[in-house]
Structure 1
Amino acid sequence: MNYRHAFHAGNHADVLKHAVLCRLLALLARKDKPFAYLDSHAGIGFYDLCGVQAGKTDEWREGIGRLWLRDDLPALLDDYRATIAALNPDGGLRYYPGSPEIARRLSRAQDRVLLNEKHPEDGRLLKDNMAGDRRVSVHLGEGWHLAKALLPVAEKRALLLIDPPFEQADELQRCTEALATAIARMRQTVVAIWYPIKDQRQLKRFYQEAQKSGAPKLLRAELWVHPTDNPAGLNGSGLLIANPPWPLEDELRELLPYLAERLAQSQGGWRLDWLIEEQAGG
């Protein structure tokens, strides 16, 4: 699967990923103590939905395009919508934020935003798009090394997003390895891994390996727009979230049914459960 992001910006998978990312950032910001946001495969920061690449697929129309003008959005989506609106002051929908822009806008003066992008051209664009914000640093290197290179952080609190392009067959395995590394280096790190729902056999192995990561607790949140056994295409996507802050689980039980209903293309659905439940006294 090739997930070069400019072609897919704003699609149903982005809606899930970024809506949950907004909630994670908001919940971390409830405490005054600073946190660091780390992004292993950051992309370019934000995307032009009228650009050549996005225009070739128009996937955003079946994602954020379905939600943008609705007047019944749950309050849990307020930060998500406000971040998009800030890039579109005329009220239209042309520019869509990637995870770096969301983190930059929803983090606070005392927080840090540590971004990594391997692709040289995308890295240059990312630096340009993040220029002027001293809280943001951009690294140009292999994203799989980020946890080992930057954890633990001085802030004692961290959110790591792992969102690879899935161009290589071993990337689900590398996600679980990065999760294990992050937890080993800083046990309290909140780690969010985005993944496509496509090959159920590969996903079964992915879940099993994630359960061996050493994470104190691990929440699985999935959203699909087609039946999960559909042999072609991107049926949906999911997030594995280690150390999710309270009350994220309750929030997702409200949010996922809404998104499944609004974004379904042939058959929508959702799942929310624990791959690793917190041990009593843990």
Structure 2
Amino acid sequence: MFSYRHAFHAGNHADVLKHAVLAHVLDYMNRKDTPYWVIDTHAGAGLYRLDSDWANKNAEYADGVARLWGRDDLPPLFARYMELVRRHNIDGRLRNYPGSPWLTLEALRESDRLRLFEMHPSEAEVLVRNLEHQGRIALRQTTVYDADGFEGVKALLPPPPRRGLVLIDPSYEDKQDYRRALTTVKEGVKRFATGTYAVWYPQVQRRESTDLPRQLERLDVKSWLRVALSVKKPAATGFGLHGSGMFLVNPPWTLHAALKEAMPWLTGLLAQDDRAHFVLEQREG
């Protein structure tokens, strides 16, 4: 649905959780010399200005990444995430926010590859333009497809090096995205059983958002991990995002311990009322 622009939400509490998990997964993958691919099914524009009109419409980053900015008591999981954010704000002011493609580019080695899908014509155009400013190496490592990521990922699995991460991060404005996210993982593990799949999902007052993680838990996979953060009670109106979650198939074995240490701290920091809480569950292989 072309009405969605991630710039409205860049750096919010959902991005903090999602991108800290992403950074940890990529660091873990870099422990082995073997190359890998990252496939991002809903890439967005890649890099966002927090002083833009879009970002400032609701200033969601103020209750997200801005609460971590400048602190010196971050747990390692979020210290690493903020290290990557600071690289895009070298003047000491929080003005730029790196989305998942940019955080991935920070981690990739010369032999690794990034495949980005973005259907929104304006977002895809900005994404390509932003990549061009990154230089030759980023352009050589990255391919952008202005196509449906749910469908396009099928042709890329398994990736040639037989190592990879698939990030599935739709807007869920269309309720069919919940079903399609589940199907993408289900079909993906048939093609590429050893890959890591990371699904972001919103916590909203919609039955599908509650059903999705439970449906993912029932997949026939070796191991999974779910982490979710609710920052406030659901709104009386029934609208709005009160939290989000990440569900990972074949997660790094190090991730659960890192989240167990970090999530109580993050929940306290990002809480917007006394109903804030987190959930951390896993199935070990």
TM-score normalized with structure 2 length: 0.92
- Secondary structure at the aligned position of 1:87 is classed as coil
Deviation at 1:214, TM superposition (A): 2.9
Q: Aligned partners of 2:55, 2:221: CA distance in 1, in Å?
A: 36
Deviation at 1:208, TM superposition (A): 3.7
Deviation at 1:147, TM superposition (A): 2.5
Aligned to 1:264: 271
Aligned to 2:211: 205
Deviation at 1:83, TM superposition (A): 1.6
Structure 1 segment 151-190 matched on structure 2, within 5 A: 151-190=157-196
Q: Aligned partners of 2:62, 2:214: CA distance in 1, in Å?
A: 34
Q: Aligned partners of 1:77, 1:257: CA distance in 2, in Å?
A: 12
Which residue identity is paired with 2:270?
L
Q: Aligned partners of 1:186, 1:238: CA distance in 2, in Å?
A: 23
TM-superposition CA deviations, 1:60-100 (whole Å, max 9, x none): 00100111011111122233112211111101000000000
TM-superposition CA deviations, 1:98-140 (whole Å, max 9, x none): 0000000111112111111111111111111122311111111
Which residue identity is paired with 1:238?
G
Structure 1 segment 104-143 matched on structure 2, within 5 A: 104-131=105-132, 132=135, 133=138, 134-143=140-149
Q: Aligned partners of 1:76, 1:204: CA distance in 2, in Å?
A: 26
Which residue identity is paired with 1:214?
D
Which residue identity is paired with 1:264?
A
- Secondary structure at the aligned position of 1:155 is classed as coil
Deviation at 1:6, TM superposition (A): 0.6
In 1, are the aligned partners of 2:113 and 2:141 still within 8 Å (CA)? Answer: yes
Deviation at 1:202, TM superposition (A): 2.2
Which residue identity is paired with 2:281?
D
- Secondary structure at the aligned position of 1:257 is classed as helix
> Do residues 216 (structure 1) and 222 (structure 2) align?
yes
Q: Aligned partners of 1:212, 1:261: CA distance in 2, in Å?
A: 31
Which residue identity is paired with 1:156?
R
In 2, are the aligned partners of 1:200 and 1:229 still within 8 Å (CA)? Answer: no
The answer to which of 54-63 and 67-76 deviates more is 67-76
TM-score normalized with structure 1 length: 0.93
TM-superposition CA deviations, 1:234-266 (whole Å, max 9, x none): 110001100001111111111111111100001
The answer to which of 71-80 and 88-97 deviates more is 71-80
Unaligned runs of 5+ in 1: none
Aligned to 1:49: 50
> Do residues 19 (structure 1) and 27 (structure 2) align?
no
Which residue identity is paired with 2:276?
G
Q: Aligned partners of 1:203, 1:166: CA distance in 2, in Å?
A: 9
In 2, are the aligned partners of 1:83 and 1:102 still within 8 Å (CA)? Answer: yes
Q: Aligned partners of 1:265, 1:247: CA distance in 2, in Å?
A: 29
In 2, are the aligned partners of 1:36 and 1:155 still within 8 Å (CA)? Answer: yes
CA RMSD in angstroms, aligned pairs only: 1.7
- Aligned pair count reads 277
Q: Aligned partners of 2:221, 2:205: CA distance in 1, in Å?
A: 24
Aligned to 1:250: 257
Which residue identity is paired with 2:243?
G
> Do residues 194 (structure 1) and 200 (structure 2) align?
yes
Deviation at 1:278, TM superposition (A): 4.0
Aligned to 1:81: 82
In 1, are the aligned partners of 2:175 and 2:208 still within 8 Å (CA)? Answer: no
Q: Aligned partners of 1:10, 1:253: CA distance in 2, in Å?
A: 22
Identity percentage of aligned residues: 40
